[in-house]
Amino acid sequence: MRILVYGAGVIGANLAADLFSSGRDVTLLARGPWADVLEQKGLRVKSAFFPGRRTYPIPVVRELKSDDEYDAIFVVLRFSQLESVLPILRNNVSRNIVLVGNDPCAPAYREKLKGKNVLFGFYMAAGHREPDRVVSFSLRKITVGQLREDPSNEALIRRIFDGTKIRAVYEPNMEDYLLCHAAFVVPIAFACYHADGDLKGIRRDKAYLNRIIDANIEGYQAIENAGREILPAADKDYHSKEYRKLCFRVYRIMCATAIGKVCASDHAMNAVEEMRAMNESLKGFFDAHGASYPAYRELEADALKHLEGRANRGE
């Protein structure tokens, strides 16, 4: 299969590297100085937690022409950037398009790409990009599938990922999965702004950490009240004491170690516009279904105040 990874940021680079090292025919689309680096030196990926670096000589292109045909195109861009590439994807002959990343508006993008077989995915990798390399870690796991009312794409997904180093989890209801993911992630982004990017500053603030959990629970409640499914299934007991205890432990670990920087604050601090767009989309869903979310609003107002402070300081 011919696969194009459209976007060479941290997630796209890791997805391309993991597919390439599994023997797949992969091409990476990049632009500007970063494309120059990839063409001249290859894709260099350094582990965020362990010594060592690997270089992947992945073919690079700088544009997707209308007659460039691929068996699958994985579009790995920030949520706030997707709109700009839709005309290019619509004009291309390839049929299978997988939008990878934070996307709480999945049905809207399916409609905007009518005539294509549109899938959605979330790849478990994180980190940051430096001038000549990506510093990151990858769990080599993707959750991927279509919207709940669309025909199954499980067979296609298996053809792409079976025999690779990547564990593909087929999810037939990616619409609700991504909505729940946004409800979990956006409050954590608020915490990153509250802490000015250094989560260690809130690791002992039990009240604030519990407010993050409150905001997450409010989001899940709104989603469930709207008749949607809570995904992944492990989060269905989000009202339980066990769920709160687990989240609290995870947040404490994130805040006390480098995990929080790599998995949360690096991205939140460098993708403010994406987080703003996700926040607005999520609030639009809450409001459309008459939800009450005071803890979420409180965290949002505090985060916006901190972002304004950073802007005023020229940061």
Q: What is the tens place of the pLDDT at every residue in 146-164?
A: 999 999 999 999 999 999 9
User: What's the confidence (pLDDT) of residue 306?
Assistant: 85
Tokens, residue 79: 């949520």
Q: What is the tens place of the pLDDT at every residue in 33-88?
A: 999 999 999 999 999 988 889 999 999 999 999 999 999 999 999 888 999 999 99
Could you give the CA distance from residue 274 to residue 78 in angstroms, rounded to a whole number?
6
Contacts with 91 (C-beta within 8 Å, 6 or more apart), sequence order: 66
User: What's the confidence (pLDDT) of residue 21?
Assistant: 96
User: What's the confidence (pLDDT) of residue 104?
Assistant: 84
What average pLDDT does range 162-177 have in this prediction? 97
What average pLDDT does range 208-235 have in this prediction? 97
Mean pLDDT rounded to a whole number for the chain: 95
User: What's the confidence (pLDDT) of residue 315?
Assistant: 63
Could you give the CA distance from residue 63 to residue 81 in angstroms, rounded to a whole number?
16
0.85 exceeded by the pTM?
Answer: yes
Q: What is the tens place of the pLDDT at every residue in 10-34?
A: 999 999 999 999 999 999 999 999 9
What average pLDDT does range 123-136 have in this prediction? 94
Percent of the chain with pLDDT over 70: 99
User: What's the confidence (pLDDT) of residue 307?
Assistant: 87
Contacts with 298 (C-beta within 8 Å, 6 or more apart), sequence order: 211, 215
b/e 230-258 (16+ beta carbons within 10 angstroms → b): bbeeebeebeeeebbeebeeebbebbeee
Contacts with 230 (C-beta within 8 Å, 6 or more apart), sequence order: 176, 180, 220, 223, 224, 236, 238
Q: Are 278 and 101 in contact (CB under 8 A)?
A: no
User: What's the confidence (pLDDT) of residue 50?
Assistant: 86
DSSP type of residue 153: -
User: What's the confidence (pLDDT) of residue 51?
Assistant: 85
User: What's the confidence (pLDDT) of residue 3?
Assistant: 98
Could you give the CA distance from residue 16 to residue 133 in angstroms, rounded to a whole number?
14
Could you give the CA distance from residue 137 to residue 171 in angstroms, rounded to a whole number?
23
How does residue 103 score in pLDDT terms, banded at 50, 70 and 90?
A: confident
What average pLDDT does range 194-218 have in this prediction? 96
Q: What is the tens place of the pLDDT at every residue in 239-260?
A: 999 999 999 999 999 999 999 9
Compute CA 299 distance to the chain's CA centroid, rounded to the nearest angstrom: 21
